[in-house]
Amino acid sequence: MIPVFVLAIGLAAISPGQDCQEAQALARQTYEDRRYDQSALYFARAVTSCGATGSLLLALGQAHLLAQHPADAIATLDRIPIDDPDYVQALKVKAKALYLLRRDPAAEDALKRAAARAPADAEIPYDLGRIYYQLGKHQAAAESFRRAIELDPRAHKAWDNLGLAAEALGDVVQAQQHYLKALALVHKDHPRYDVVYANFADLLIKLGNYQRAFDLAAEAAQRNPNEPRNFFLAGKALVQLGRGDISVRWFEQAIALNPDYPEPHYVLSQVYRRLGRDADAARALKSFQAASTRAPKERR
């Protein structure tokens, strides 16, 4: 899973031209709306109109990355000079792109170079932890997330991911405590951050706390209605609560957001079967089989 990055702010208005200002405004707005392909187009226009400043190149690289174009992100970020104030941030974004391209040693090296220049930056050990976690190095991941928290005790993403690492290491009690800490940090201060709600909901489904899991997943869906996993988890919890009839619309929304997401198709087929809707169940199962072949085998 790839997390949302902080958009570069305070972009230098080095040209008074209307196109320069309009391009930046449109780029920022589409980025905030999570329309990253469109945002990248506007940032590219801003680079042409305003000039290739480090902050604009960084923002363009971030947009490319979140639009799932990591090679374009790297090409853009490599244009930022080593003495630019945004160079460390560029290394951090480049590391994420390198990881997505399965260039793990290069990603780790980029982050270590960033850490050497900015040892107090909590995001760097957090990013290292994310790489270690995705590679299955859960103990190393936990240590990196703890380092991030030492540098910034309010690093909500580090607390969230420390919960994931603890869960992977089999310490469910600690995992819940870390998720609760992350929830407390994001509840008011980060109203669009949804991931910890989904992560905690997923764990609580496994533990049999279905009502609390549904509440968390529904909150995740409200915070980020564009993420299919949030709707899928809410539907799963409803099935376990004996509300398969209501779960249908949650699964259907997950599928509408991403038809290539296999799991909602499969669970929906089971729900249809229990509701006596055999024809719908057969169609959902067929869709599951098709989605399983189409689902991208890419990193997150």
Q: Which domain holds residue 221?
A: 194-300
For residues 26-38, average pLDDT: 94
pLDDT of 9: 39
Q: Is 244 a member of any domain?
A: yes
214-260 pLDDT, tens digit per residue, is 999 999 999 999 999 999 999 999 999 999 999 999 999 999 999 99
Identify whether the C-beta of residue 132 lies closer than 8 Å to the C-beta of residue 147: no
For residues 146-175, average pLDDT: 98
For residues 203-211, average pLDDT: 98
Q: Is 115 a member of any domain?
A: no
Residue ending a domain, choose from 148, 171, 191: 191
d(CA 291, CA 300): 18
Q: Is 112 a member of any domain?
A: no
Average model confidence (pLDDT) across the chain: 93
Percent share of the chain, pLDDT over 70? 93
Maximum average pLDDT range among 33-37, 100-104, 134-138, 152-156: 152-156
Indicate whether 144 pLDDT > 60.
yes
Domain count, the chain: 3
CATH code assigned at 291: 1.25.40.10
76-95 pLDDT, tens digit per residue, is 999 999 999 999 999 999 99
User: Which segments of the chain does DSSP mark as H helices, in order?
Assistant: 18-32, 36-50, 54-66, 70-77, 87-100, 104-117, 123-134, 138-151, 156-168, 172-186, 195-207, 210-223, 228-240, 244-257, 262-274, 278-294
Percent share of the chain, pLDDT over 90? 91
Identify whether the C-beta of residue 25 lies closer than 8 Å to the C-beta of residue 1: no
Indicate whether 7 pLDDT > 80.
no
* Residues 201 and 291 reside in one and the same domain: yes
Residue ending a domain, choose from 191, 216, 246: 191
Q: Is 215 a member of any domain?
A: yes
- At 294, the pLDDT band (50, 70, 90 cuts) reads confident
pLDDT of 1: 41
* Residues 180 and 207 reside in one and the same domain: no
Rounded to 10 deg, the angle between the 172-186 and 195-207 helix axes is 150
- At 5, the pLDDT band (50, 70, 90 cuts) reads very low
pLDDT of 296: 62
pLDDT of 300: 56
* Residues 154 and 187 reside in one and the same domain: yes
Report which of residues 65 and 3 the model is more confident about: 65
- At 11, the pLDDT band (50, 70, 90 cuts) reads very low
d(CA 137, CA 280): 41
Q: Is 107 a member of any domain?
A: no
pLDDT of 255: 98
Indicate whether 171 pLDDT > 80.
yes
Least confident of 109-113, 119-123, 141-145, 291-295: 291-295
pLDDT of 297: 59
Indicate whether 120 pLDDT > 90.
yes
Angle at alpha carbon of residue 247, lines to 245 and 251, rounded to 5°: 130
pTM of the model: 0.81
* Residues 218 and 271 reside in one and the same domain: yes
For residues 163-173, average pLDDT: 98
pLDDT of 18: 73
